[in-house]
């Protein structure tokens, strides 16, 4: 049976070079970075080198990079600390955010008695810049805005520079969940007036369980986790050195090969869309996921023209054929409630049809995509 992995938006295959770096670190650099002897100093050097590598690529300062266990922790840390420390009175986000932001925002609003507002979406499911500006202009309260750069389910991209600028113009603090963006798109935090962003290594061929937060210098945030004072006091706890080293290697390779891999993966996506349209003429593509320039090149979200009966068994049938994809994001695949993103984007009629997210990487081939299309076509006519 052929095995085809098309769920890279959930997690990516780890590069061989990254695995080698992690193994070498586990064997040869096992000291605690907080220890003052030579073993500890060697480990500390590796942590700080990784911090410098990331900061240089983002055009940030090393002190602005804080290592975390991943994107969810980074989002929680930033949102909670910003509300706690910056006198935030209104929290503005959208209803299509990842639950790491959406649920956190809802919980913080309850805890602190904040006003929680949602930016309206356009017809394709992207936050409207004009409505955000209207919310920011409404009064002089201190506001925190959190809007993701690339949506993890439908792939829609916002004009991050424009959103960041309108927040700065109106004195709002701006955070973006960039977990689906970092490692796939270029970043310059001096050009993009963003206060906070987040990343997870496993989205760009690194290990799970490690990520980072960018926190602009002099932001005013106090520590999130208290203890031994690691991560410049912001996040105590012994650093996961081998994961940080793996993150650095994956991050470095992602940007070294960005242009060639983006071109290759973009061609895969275009090929898949073309073949799907040929095989299933009534197929629809959710949000902007099939629109070049308005969505990321790494995924497409499809609304398939199958009956309710066929829809119930679709993922099972694909899995039986060795095909891995996603019904919504992996983080909520166990939920019976369905995708909160698609509920905001699709009509009632299309919500009754099966929608699947197919996400690609450099490890995929056109032959694999052709196989998937043939399986879908065969199932549609069975």
Spatial separation of the C-alpha atoms in residues 136 and 169, rounded to whole Å: 9
State the sign of the Cα–Cα–Cα–Cα dihedral 366, 368, 370, 372: negative
Q: Decide if 89 contacts 114 (C-beta within 8 A).
A: yes
How many Cα atoms sit within 13 Å of 33 on the Cβ side? Answer: 23
Spatial separation of the C-alpha atoms in residues 338 and 23, rounded to whole Å: 39
Q: Decide if 350 contacts 303 (C-beta within 8 A).
A: yes
Q: Decide if 90 contacts 114 (C-beta within 8 A).
A: yes
Residue of 167, 303, 325, 331 with catalytic role = 331
Q: Decide if 65 contacts 55 (C-beta within 8 A).
A: yes
Q: Are strands 65-68 and 211-215 parallel, antiparallel or unpaired?
A: antiparallel
Residue 190, judged by CB atoms within 10 A of its CB (0-12, 13-18, 19+), counts as exposed
Known active-site residue 325: no
Residues labelled catalytic: 331
């Amino acid at each position: 049976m052929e095995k085809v992995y098309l769920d890279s938006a959930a997690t990516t295959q780890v590069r061989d070079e990254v695995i080698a770096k992690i193994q070498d670190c586990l064997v040869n650099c096992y000291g605690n970075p907080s220890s003052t002897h030579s073993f500890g100093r060697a480990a500390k050097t590796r942590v700080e080198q990784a911090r410098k590598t990331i900061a240089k690529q983002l055009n940030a300062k090393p002190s602005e990079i804080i290592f975390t266990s991943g994107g969810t922790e980074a989002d929680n840390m930033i949102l909670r600390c910003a509300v706690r420390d910056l006198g935030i009175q209104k929290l503005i986000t959208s209803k299509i955010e990842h639950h790491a932001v959406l649920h956190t925002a809802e919980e913080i609003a309850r805890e602190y008695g904040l006003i929680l507002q949602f930016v309206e979406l356009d017809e394709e499911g992207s936050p409207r810049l004009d409505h955000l500006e209207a919310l920011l202009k409404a009064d002089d309260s201190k506001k925190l805005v959190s809007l993701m750069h690339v949506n993890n389910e439908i792939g829609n991209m916002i004009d991050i520079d424009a959103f960041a600028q309108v927040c700065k113009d109106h004195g709002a603090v701006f955070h973006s969940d960039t977990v689906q963006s970092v490692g796939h798109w270029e970043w310059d935090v001096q050009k993009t007036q963003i206060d906070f962003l987040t990343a997870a290594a496993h989205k760009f061929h690194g290990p799970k369980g490690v990520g980072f937060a960018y926190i602009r210098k002099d932001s005013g945030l106090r520590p999130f986790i208290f203890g031994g004072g690691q991560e410049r006091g912001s996040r105590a706890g012994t650093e996961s050195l081998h994961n940080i080293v793996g993150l650095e290697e994956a991050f470095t390779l992602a940007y070294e090969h960005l242009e060639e891999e983006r071109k290759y993966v973009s061609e895969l996506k275009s090929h898949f869309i073309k073949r799907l349209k040929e095989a299933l003429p009534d197929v629809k593509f959710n949000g902007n996921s099939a629109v070049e320039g308005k969505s990321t090149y790494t995924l497409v979200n499809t609304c398939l023209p199958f009956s309710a009966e066929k829809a119930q068994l679709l993922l099972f049938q694909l899995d039986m054929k060795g095909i891995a994809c996603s019904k919504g994001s992996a983080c909520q695949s166990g939920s019976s409630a369905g995708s909160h993103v698609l509920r905001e984007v699709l009509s009632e009629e299309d919500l009754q049809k099966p929608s699947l997210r197919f996400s690609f990487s450099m490890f995929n081939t056109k032959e694999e995509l052709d196989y998937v299309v043939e399986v879908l076509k065969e199932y549609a006519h069975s």
